[in-house]
Structure 1
């Protein structure tokens, strides 16, 4: 059973993670995994992430205008995400926790560097058929090993030059599939050995995650998103560096 202090920490983490998602449209799993992995094994952190991530991303997915069209366009990428996540989930458990922490740190550092450099590229329509499943599998392997959904899915989806609302919905689709696949992978590897306690923690995290998301969406209307994104990526860079060092040592 989780203690009151642990539950309070989980609520604070997901309030902050939901706030980030509300402002920049993504980042809940990245922030939550990064902060939780400082105090608990990555597999436990990933289990706590499941319900808040699934609900907030379903919300983001189902409120967009192009659900059917995006599913048809990106289904091979989603299939790759599912396969890669289930295949890589074993790295979050057992004797691989140090490597998983280091891998999570590396993913955060890479994501932060890409964000600060505003690195981008364009994928032509004729290359999508080849790249989508490869990006999906790569994203799934990173998700399965670290619990972070963003690399390389987010840069790839940004490279498709989707409209703003379509991009937000495509991110919701990718993150929803990643969350579901991660749940399957954790169950398959036995990481959900205490499902009742993990379910309590994950349900407890949902309310602060939603509250933070709504607050972030409100603040987004009154502040510079670019300024916030810069602070966000610098923070991720520092946190990722810490987790890399901790995992290696």
Structure 2
């Protein structure tokens, strides 16, 4: 899955470097809202183990293409990883790996297309500090909540993220 994310992201950066991502970001937001809302109101979608290998490749390429086109690396990796039925610590570790690989591949793709600017590098570097603080807080909280509570708040967070992604391009 990670190798497919790299391939999809590096090739997908052509979309991001070309300019307008309003429509794709809005569509991604809608997909997140639908997924999180559905999963909150019904039972969890589960991926059978026999389909995991080919789905991982498909999800990796799709996630990479979406990442390259929008700079957002949530869909479809997050719902897919959650559908694997991982325990909360394993899920967080898999998400962290996916986000790290996506971030590095996005940077490489943008560099290859001369779409990475010095001011972006500085701001991105500064953004690491609150991200690390958030990861630390998340680890503390994750150890203190039940899996059901963790799942519910994880999905609520995805719902709000999707709503913001849907509305912001329309304003």
Smaller-chain TM-score range? 0.7 to 0.9
**Are 1:122 and 2:46 counterparts?**
yes
Which residue pairs with 1:131 in the alignment? 55
Consecutive unaligned residues in structure 2, runs of 5 or more: none
Instruction: Label 1:217 to 1:131 Cα distance change in 2 as closer, same or farther (>3 A).
Output: closer
What is the DSSP-based 3-state SS (H/G/I as helix, E as strand, rest coil) of the residue aligned with 1:122? coil
CA distance in 1, matches of 2:77, 2:8: 12
Shift of 1:243: 3.2
Secondary structure in 2 matching 1:198: helix
Given the alignment, which residue of 63, 85, 92 partners 1:161?
Answer: 85
Residue of structure 2 in register with 1:148 after alignment = 72
Q: Is the 8 A contact 1:115 1:233 kept in 2?
A: yes
1:79 counterpart residue number: 3
Answering whether residue 132 of structure 2 is matched by residue 210 of structure 1, we say yes
TM-score by length of 2: 0.81
Structure 1 distance, partners of 2:77, 2:83, is 10
Deviations 1:143-174 (A, max 9, x none): 11111111111121122222332222111221
What are the ranges of 5 or more consecutive residues in structure 1 without an aligned counterpart?
Answer: 1-76
Equivalent pairs counted in the alignment come to 165
Cα gap change, 1:227 to 1:158, in 2 (>3 Å): closer
Is residue 2:157 matched to residue 1:232? yes
How far apart, in 1, do the equivalents of 2:137 and 2:91 lie? 21
1:188-239 Cα deviation digits (max 9, x unpaired): 11111x32x2222122222222233334444564896567456534533432
| CA RMSD across the alignment | 2.5
| Contact residue 28 and residue 162 of structure 2 kept, 8 A | no
Instruction: Say whether 1:104 aligns with 2:29.
Output: no
